[in-house]
Amino acid sequence: MINNLNERQIQLLLHMRNNAHVSFSILYSQIKRVYSVSEITLKRDISELVKLGYLKLNGKARTTTYDITSYGLMNTPINSMEYVSKDPDERGGYSKYNFSLLSQINFEIFSFEEIDSFNRQSIQYTERQKIATQTIRNKELERFIIEFSWKSSAIEGNTYNLLDTEKLIKEKINAEGKSVYETTMILNHKKTFDYILKNNFNKITTQTIIQIHELLTQDMSIVRGIRKSLVGITSSTYTPLHNEFQIKEALEDLCNAIEKQTDIRSKALLAIIGISYIQPFEDGNKRTARMIGNLLLVKNNLPPLSYRSTPVEEYRASVLSFYELNSLVPFKKIFTEQYNFSANNYTVK
């Protein structure tokens, strides 16, 4: 069992992604090609998925049809590394932006049990802050910024290693053989995180996202503001929105969805994956997403994420899985692991 779903139920949800208003008879005829399953068993599976909120029932009796919900899309378990190992054209994922996904989120991203686990980790984090001297806090903050700047940049293909990143940030020594672009990317992470620490933010707005993007991409020859042209995603058939007004509308949907979440961890994760999904800028989208997520965490005295122990390929695979399947499960795993890692390894205040 994965997330309390059996393999047959997971396959049913995956099948539903590319189908709307499907009747039971059609579902049964299609699913039995993959699984040897009786009508009674499949009806039981569907009823359970409706009860749990993964599927929505439409109509009555003979006119009954089913649709997968935003909750169902985002909570279907996916093996992201296995999924992206296939050629993009063979994966069968979504190739276009799902307009209804963010606007229809009416559930907390993390469950009560997950939030309770986060809170236990946060208590330990807060206790360490209380006993740490100002000198220790300053050193810990510097260490976090170095490790976050390094790993966030590495996810984007930056070839600075951790030691060279430390020299750059602490001693202003550029690594030999590295481009000005890579060096600037690292330094912009530090500058932007420093800015976050010194300023207040009431909530995440489109303007906040644009502002953080401008700081992160300063002096990198990246066009500022919402993009007006098409961008492609490497190793994916997914194509983000390219209409400026639709991108702005998608960002508004995201900001509204973030605001509706009651737990800060849920807000942070939704911001990270949502900005990455919308791709509102010509470049620097995922960097901006990670920084916005940390803004939400650190401003609420919660451990920010450095991603230090996250394999780059796993990170990329989890994001691609969201682009193409809208499944948040792989990235939730990364977020949870890194939150616990940060709670036990940093003292940032």
Q: What is the chain's length?
A: 349
Band (pLDDT 50/70/90 cuts) for residue 85 is very high
Q: Are 179 and 186 in contact (CB under 8 A)?
A: no
Residue range 235-257: average pLDDT? 96
Tally Cβ neighbours within 10 Å of residue 41: 12
% of the chain residues with pLDDT over 90: 82
Comparing CA positions, the residue from 346, 335, 340 lying closest to residue 266 is: 335
pLDDT at 17: 87
Rounded CA-CA distance 144/308 in Å is: 9
**CATH match of 99-345 with 1.10.3290.10:** yes
> What percent of the chain is helix, strand and coil (3-state, nearest 5)?
60, 5, 35
pLDDT at 8: 87
pLDDT over 60 at 262, yes or no: yes
pLDDT over 60 at 60, yes or no: yes
Tally Cβ neighbours within 10 Å of residue 189: 26
Report the range of poorest mean pLDDT among 3-17, 226-240, 267-281: 3-17
3-state secondary structure of 313: helix
Please write the tens of the pLDDT for every residue from 164-209. 999 999 999 999 999 999 999 999 999 999 999 999 998 999 999 9
Q: DSSP characters for 125-143? A: HHHHHHH--HHHHHHHHHH
Rounded CA-CA distance 173/180 in Å is: 12
Residue range 111-115: average pLDDT? 94
Rounded CA-CA distance 156/289 in Å is: 12
pLDDT over 50 at 128, yes or no: yes
**Within a 13 Å sphere around the CA of 251, how many CA atoms are in the beta-carbon half?**
22
Residue range 89-115: average pLDDT? 92
Residue range 3-21: average pLDDT? 86
pLDDT at 45: 94
pLDDT over 90 at 40, yes or no: yes
Rounded CA-CA distance 101/67 in Å is: 13
| Average pLDDT taken over every residue of the chain | 94
% of the chain residues with pLDDT over 70: 99
pLDDT at 290: 98
Band (pLDDT 50/70/90 cuts) for residue 306 is very high
Place of tokens 């009674």: 40
Comparing CA positions, the residue from 247, 233, 249 lying closest to residue 324 is: 233
pLDDT at 33: 84
Rounded to two decimals, what is the model's pTM? 0.94
pLDDT over 70 at 2, yes or no: no
Domain boundaries, the chain: 7-68, 99-345
pLDDT at 84: 95
Residue range 293-321: average pLDDT? 97
Rounded CA-CA distance 66/47 in Å is: 10
Rounded CA-CA distance 286/265 in Å is: 18
pLDDT over 90 at 152, yes or no: yes
pLDDT at 59: 86
pLDDT at 3: 58
What is the topology classification, in CATH, of domain 7-68?
Answer: Arc Repressor Mutant, subunit A (1.10.10)
Q: Contacts by 1-8 with C-beta closer than 8 Å and gap 24+?
A: 2/77, 3/75, 3/77, 3/329, 4/52, 5/49, 5/54, 5/76, 5/77, 6/45, 8/35, 8/37, 8/41, 8/45
Tally Cβ neighbours within 10 Å of residue 245: 10
> In this predicted model, which residue has the larger pLDDT, 323 or 93?
323
Band (pLDDT 50/70/90 cuts) for residue 1 is very low
3-state secondary structure of 65: strand
| 99-345 and 7-68 share a CATH fold | no
pLDDT over 50 at 90, yes or no: yes
